[in-house]
Chains A and B, each alone.
Chain A
Amino acid sequence: MARVLLEGNFDFVPSTMPGDIVHGRMSFSPMFIGGTISLAYANIAHRISLTASADMSYTVSLGLYSMNAGTLSLHQSVSASRSDATAAGTRASHLYMTFSYGTTNDITPGSWWWGVLVSMTGAAAGSQSIRIYGGTVSAQNSFPGAFYAGAMTETTNALPTSYDTASLDGTGAEALSQYILISA
């Protein structure tokens, strides 16, 4: 297959967002990569919201996972952080966050899953929130096929090297795709 320069799990920036991200609760979203790509950058689009004037800092970690027999295995990882200062006051901002891999690796075409982990510090609990752009259709029962998407039922401080998809919660809006865009 030909090489591609861009790949995303949406064809355009979506106009919807699932609910507030839970600190340390990781979600996995599928992506089909149609051609070999030299993975240099990843992007998410998100909204931060603060209802009180306070500092806010957060780190987002992205894991690229392959899957075999229902187990996700970490292939690449990257993270990025940003801070909002108190002086900005109460606010809501829609932003891209870009992740740089430093060295590039070829990612082969096929099925991949992205794990997204958000850690927040700063403002008091309940006064800050992050939402990542993505799908919002929320099913009440688990996906009946092999695996589509899901969220952890526990929290973690780091991207797991492997994870059993049977342990993921496949219901609710958190179990649908989050918008991820990668580029060479």
Chain B
Amino acid sequence: MGLFGLINAGIIPFDVGGTSAADPQMLLFQNFGNQYANAFGPVSFGTMSIHAVYIPMSISFNKLAMLLVRSASLSGNTLNFSAIFGLYSMNAGTLSLANSASANPAIASSDVTAAITRWITFATSATQNISPGQWYFGFAHVSSGVNWGISYLINNSYNPNNVPPTQFLYGRMTVSTNTPPASIATSTLDITGNDATKQQYIIITA
């Protein structure tokens, strides 16, 4: 499985967060250290990528952030796109949507005259206290037409040729969507290839 797989499966928790109390709360959670993720992967339109995370302490699902990069070769155009996020639990191979968030970044053309690396923020649909345990993050870039050279910070894992011989670890939808589906059968997900094994970097802050 490798280190990234262990991290993303939650076997090695590598997160940031929390205080100690009766119900200790994290202040900050990241699905992997951004220091691993010096690669910016291209995105697929609307085909949600989903991966397992282990959340070691409760955290208020208040703000969500990701890092995107845009190449200089397409500079000078205003960025118009959206991104969607789904927080899922899983039971018997079916992912169920627990909460969602969306981003509609406003990046002016004056800000994209050269290559950029920027944080984008997501508005959560409802603040929820996420309990510790196994969860699944789903992310999709949603845009029509041109992607304007947008990529997101991802981990830089190897890409095994066969499927992971474990519980569901990661995968990508084969059909596009504009909103996080209410439920997803993991058996319908594509779990091979770079777009399945590489995950976008996601931070939640209370």
Taking CB atoms, residues of chain A closer than 8 Å to B26 are 32, 110-111
- Check A111–B16 contact: CB distance below 8 A: yes
What are 16 A-B residue pairs whose CB atoms fall within 8 Å in the complex?
A10-B33, A11-B3, A16-B35, A32-B14, A110-B17, A110-B20, A110-B25, A110-B57, A111-B19, A137-B34, A141-B118, A143-B65, A143-B119, A144-B65, A146-B62, A176-B34
Contact flag A137-B37 (CB < 8 Å), given A31-B16, A32-B16: yes
- The chain A residue with its CB closest to the CB of B26 is A111
- Check A142–B35 contact: CB distance below 8 A: no
Contact flag A139-B119 (CB < 8 Å), given A11-B12, A11-B33, A148-B203: yes
Interface residues of B (CB under 8 A from A): 3, 7, 12-20, 24-28, 33-35, 37-38, 56-57, 62-65, 67, 116-121, 153, 203-206
Taking CB atoms, residues of chain B closer than 8 Å to A115 are none
Determine if A140 is an interface residue (Cβ-Cβ < 8 Å). yes
What separation, in Å, do the CA atoms of A176 and B203 have in the docked complex? Answer: 13
How many residue pairs at the A-B interface have CB separations less than 8 Å? 111
What 3 A-B pairs are tightest by C-beta distance, nearest first?
Answer: A110-B18, A145-B205, A144-B121
- Check B35–A110 contact: CB distance below 8 A: no
* A contacts with B: majority SS: loop
- Check B38–A16 contact: CB distance below 8 A: yes
What separation, in Å, do the CA atoms of A137 and B62 have in the docked complex? Answer: 24
- Check A32–B15 contact: CB distance below 8 A: yes
Most central of A138, A140, A145 by chain B CB within 10 Å: A145
- How many residues does chain A have at the interface if contact means C-beta atoms less than 8 Å apart? 34
CB distance from A140 to the nearest CB of B (A): 6
Determine if A122 is an interface residue (Cβ-Cβ < 8 Å). no
CB distance from B97 to the nearest CB of A (A): 22
- Check B117–A139 contact: CB distance below 8 A: yes
- Check B28–A11 contact: CB distance below 8 A: no
Determine if A9 is an interface residue (Cβ-Cβ < 8 Å). yes
What separation, in Å, do the CA atoms of A30 and B64 have in the docked complex? Answer: 16
- Check B117–A138 contact: CB distance below 8 A: yes
- Check B35–A144 contact: CB distance below 8 A: no
Contact flag A109-B65 (CB < 8 Å), given A10-B35, A34-B56, A139-B117: no
